[in-house]
Amino acid sequence: MSASPKLVILAILMLLLQPAWAIERIEPWQEAVRLNNEGLRLEAQGDLREARAQYEEATRQDPKLAIAFSNLGNLYYQEQNYEKAAQFFKKAVRLKPDTAAFHINLANVFYAEKGYDKAIREYQIALKLDPENAVAESNLGDTYLQKGALKLAGHHLSRAVQKNPGLSIAHYNRGMLFLAAGKRQEARESLERSLELNPLFADTHFQLAKIYEDEYNTVLAVRHFGAYLKIDRQGPNALKAARSIQRLSRQLPQS
């Protein structure tokens, strides 16, 4: 998250500006920042258990360090423990209600639980705080898409792409909108653009595979189903992809 590097810089600057005698005493908030940054390092290395311990200790050292609560929420969100994730994201929002990223995180939990109206409200707050936030705009458009409000979805997804043309998820969401509207060619173009920006986006491979299968382009369908499995073998569509490859492979010319 963008706030994390700022915390690192802030901690270093404040220590540098203090006289030598003051550096010997580490204030609780300084220790909390150190612990949070250590948690980020451990999380980046994949050690989520130790990262969680560091974040938890950071919140004990400084109960007002909102970013540590948000980072805890992110860990629980990754585990699909949405109740715990919401608990920590709400705490972060209460501590720093003017931080758009915290509202986005909370909205993502509501979205995952299909609480689309609550998610919309939080994404809208994030956009008021940070009008140029393309992620909030894209997520808001996707939420409207889930509600079947295609016009509103299209408005926000177009704005997301305008704000950040390099945002892969915005092109993916736009592709899904075009599919819902029956615009197959536009959907393919958006999904292919999403894949150009992020070749490891598994869901994009899956959706393109389905399009190519419907168009009887067996070679490309098998290729994208295979790419999906290579990236996310445990994904929610893994079984469908594997079965599709098995079925479609019988239609390919034998060498």
Q: How confident is the model at residue 21 (pLDDT cuts 50, 70, 90)?
A: very low
Same fold, 1-15+23-87 and 97-191: yes
How far from each other are the two terminal CA atoms of the chain, in whole angstroms?
49
- Measured CA to CA in angstroms, residue 7 lies from 1, 44, 214 at distances of 11, 16, 50
Output the six-digit token pair for 227.
């790419």
Nearest to 95 by CA among 56, 69, 119, 75: 69
Per-residue pLDDT at 122: 98
Taking residues 194-204, what's their average pLDDT? 97
User: Half-sphere exposure (CA, 13 Å, Cβ side) for 178?
Assistant: 21
Q: How confident is the model at residue 3 (pLDDT cuts 50, 70, 90)?
A: very low
Taking residues 55-73, what's their average pLDDT? 96
Alpha-carbon distance of 85 to 60, in angstroms, equals: 18
Looking up tokens 């499995």, which residue turns up?
229
Q: How confident is the model at residue 25 (pLDDT cuts 50, 70, 90)?
A: confident
Nearest to 156 by CA among 131, 143, 137: 137
What are the two backbone dihedrals, phi and then psi, of residue 37, each rounded to the nearest 5 degrees? Answer: -70, -35
85 alpha carbon, distance to own chain's centre: 14
Output the six-digit token pair for 55.
């974040």
Alpha-carbon distance of 118 to 168, in angstroms, equals: 25
Nearest to 106 by CA among 80, 77, 128: 77
DSSP structural state of residue 235: S
Contact status, residue 68 vs residue 37, Cβ threshold 8 Å: no
Per-residue pLDDT at 6: 30
Per-residue pLDDT at 255: 60
pLDDT, averaged across the chain: 91
pLDDT of residue 165 exceeding 90: yes
Per-residue pLDDT at 253: 78
pLDDT of residue 4 exceeding 90: no
**In terms of CATH architecture, what is 97-191?**
Alpha Horseshoe (1.25)
Angle formed by the axes of helices 66-78 and 82-95, nearest 10°: 160
**Residues listed for the chain:** 255
Q: How open is the CA angle 190-121-131, to the nearest 5 degrees?
A: 60
- pLDDT digit string, tens, across residues 93-124: 999 999 999 999 999 999 999 999 999 999 99
Output the six-digit token pair for 222.
């098998």
**Domain ranges within the chain, ordered by starting residue:** 1-15+23-87, 97-191, 199-255
pLDDT of residue 248 exceeding 90: yes
Task: Write out the CATH class of domain 1-15+23-87.
Answer: mainly alpha
Residue 118 CB burial class (10 angstroms; 0-12, 13-18, ≥19) = middle
Nearest to 163 by CA among 132, 140, 138: 132
Ordered DSSP codes for 66-77: HHHHHHHHHHHH
Taking residues 150-169, what's their average pLDDT? 98
DSSP structural state of residue 18: S
What residue type is 204 in one-letter code?
T
pLDDT of residue 218 exceeding 80: yes
Contact status, residue 134 vs residue 170, Cβ threshold 8 Å: yes
pLDDT of residue 10 exceeding 60: no
